[in-house]
Every structure is written in structure tokens, then in C-alpha cells.
Structure 1
Amino acid sequence: MAVALDQPVPDFTAQATSGQAITLAGLRGRKLVLYFYPKDSTPGCTTQGQGFRDLHESFEEANTVVLGVSRDGMKSHENFKAKQGFTFELISDKDETLCQLFDVIKLKKLYGKEYLGVDRSTFLIDEQGVLRREWRGVKVPGHVQEVLAAAQAL
């Protein structure tokens, strides 16, 4: 079952960088931005991650945790995070548990070939674990600022 706006998000546990196991329940009392992206170290995903990195302090001031999610493995995540100086953790979702929960796996086309990939999407969850905003099919320019404004307004 996928998440729905204004409904509680089921608790989850996910492996993240820095050796962390992250649970939604463990983040109660803080807002959460969960952003799904297709692949580590690709141009759009790098730009998007840099945007969250550059505004990290503002998200912190808005009592908001930022987590990036892709199907890449932990080694790839650790390298990507270190190379870009990300100030937030990345979740490895190789088994697609979170991707399925948030319904972000979509049929995509690249060079005429169809494949299942992650649709760039962002979700804003409130302090009680309720999904308040979602952005699907995200275009990177201006997106992080829009998410920050929504987190600040929540």
C-alpha cells in the first residue's frame, strides 16, 4: 500500500550512510524531507543533492531532517556523500521497500529503451509522521527552495 497525503506514513527502518539505521518513529518531533533520486553521481542528482546541502542550515532551523533515497548500494552512497560534502544521510533502498511504499518506481525511456526507474520525487512528513506534501516528476531547478518554503510553513 502506498502512502497518501494527510495520512500517517507507516513506520520504516532503512540503512543509511554513516552506519545508521533510520526509523520514521525515531524522527518523531521533527519534520522529514525524503527525496528519491535515480542514481548517485549523475548530473541532475548531484545538483539536487547540492541544493539540499547548501540549504541544510535553513532546513535545520525549520526543525527538518533531510534524507536522500536511491537504489544505489552503501559504498556508492558513501562515496557520493563524501565527494559532494553532503551534510545529510543517504538511504540505500536496494530492495525497493521505500520506493514501493512511496510509489516512485515508474516506467521510463532512455534512448528508446523502456526500463523501471526511480521517478525523482520529494515528500514532506510532519512531526507526527503524517505525509503533508509530495512532489512527483521533480525538475531540479528551484525545487529545493520550494521544499524548504513548505517545511518552514508547516
Structure 2
Amino acid sequence: MSVSIGQHVPDFSAPATGDTQITLSDYRGRQVVIYFYPKDSTPGCTTEGGDFRDHKADFEAANTVILGVSRDGLRAHENFKAKQGFNFELISDKDEALCQLFDVIKLKKLYGKEHLGIERSTFLIDTDGKLAREWRKVKVKGHVEEVLDAARELNAAS
């Protein structure tokens, strides 16, 4: 059962960097951007994370928290976060519970071989915990600016 636009996102708790446990309901009253990316320390994921990092103050001004998610473990996440200077937490979703909730595990092709992996996707949750926007099959260039515009619009409307 995956979540749809306009629906409440079921509350979840997941381990994250900074020795934290992220619980969605802790962010009620704030907007939340959850972005799913395939793998720590790969070129596209590094660029996307860097774009979110560089716009964090803008997202905060729009009352929006940023959370990154992949299936990598916490040690890989901590290294990736430290090396790139990310100023937001990364959630480890080894059991794919969040990936399934947001339906981001897709059949992908790499060098002619098929495998299941995370399809780069971003979700914007409103202050009441409802899914407001989603972006699937994300292309990194210009994406963060598009999400920021949506976060600003949603914040201005609330």
C-alpha cells in the first residue's frame, strides 16, 4: 500500500545519521521533503544531496525540513554526510519499509542487466502530514529548485 497525493502519510520511525531516530509525526507543523536516492557517494546522488545542502536555508525559510533516504547502512550514510558536508539527516532504509510506502523500488537496467533499485524520487509532505507533491524519475539538474518553489508555494498557502 503506497501513499497518494492528498492522503496522510502513515507515521513512521527510522534510523538516521547523527545517532537519531526520525519519526514523521515529530515534524507536524512543518513541511517535510523526503528524497529517495539510489546510493551513497555516487555522482548523481552526491550532486542532488549537495543541491539540497546548498538550499537548506531557503527550505528552512519555507518551514521545510529535508530528509534523504536510501538503502545504504548508517556507517555509509555517516561517511557520505561528513564527506559532503550535508546539513540534514540521511535515513537508512535497509528493510525497504519507506521505499515500499512511497513505492520507489523499480526494475532498473544497468549495463544490460535488470535489478531492483530505488528510482530517484522526491515527496513533499504538508504541515498536517499529507502528501502534497511527488516527483518521480527525477533528473538531478534543476530538481532541487523545483522542489523549493513547490515548498514555498505550499508554505505561502498554509
Q: What band does the TM-score fall into relative to the shorter chain? A: over 0.9
Between the aligned partners of 1:13 and 1:115, the Cα distance in structure 2 is: 27
Quote the offset at 1:59 in angstroms.
0.4
Match of 2:64 in 1: 64
Deviations 1:97-137 (A, max 9, x none): 00000000000000110000000000000000000000000
1:55 counterpart residue number: 55
Per-residue deviation, 1:79: 0.2
Is residue 2:123 matched to residue 1:123?
yes
Question: Displacement, 1:36?
Answer: 0.1
Structure 1 segments of 4+ aligned residues over 3 angstroms from their partners:
none
Aligned match of 1:15: 15
Match of 1:81 in 2: 81
CA RMSD of aligned residues (A): 0.3
In the alignment of these two chains, the number of paired residues is 154
Name the structure 2 match of 1:102: 102
Determine what percentage of the aligned residue pairs are the same residue. Answer: 71
| Superposed displacement of residue 37, structure 1 | 0.1
What corresponds to 2:37 in structure 1?
37
TM-score in terms of structure 1 length: 1.00
1:9 partner SS: coil
CA distance in 2, matches of 1:12, 1:101: 10
Partner of 2:10, secondary structure, is coil
| Cα distance in 1, alignment partners of residues 65 and 14 from structure 2 | 15
**In 2, Cα distance between equivalents of 1:140 and 1:153:** 21
Gaps of 5+ in 2: none
- Specify the SS of the correspondent of 2:109: strand
Please give the per-residue CA displacement for 1:18-63, whole angstroms capped at 9, x wherever unaligned.
0111111111010000000000000000000000000000001111
Give the secondary structure class of the aligned counterpart of 1:107. strand
Distance 2:115 2:57 in 1: 37
1:69: how far off?
0.1
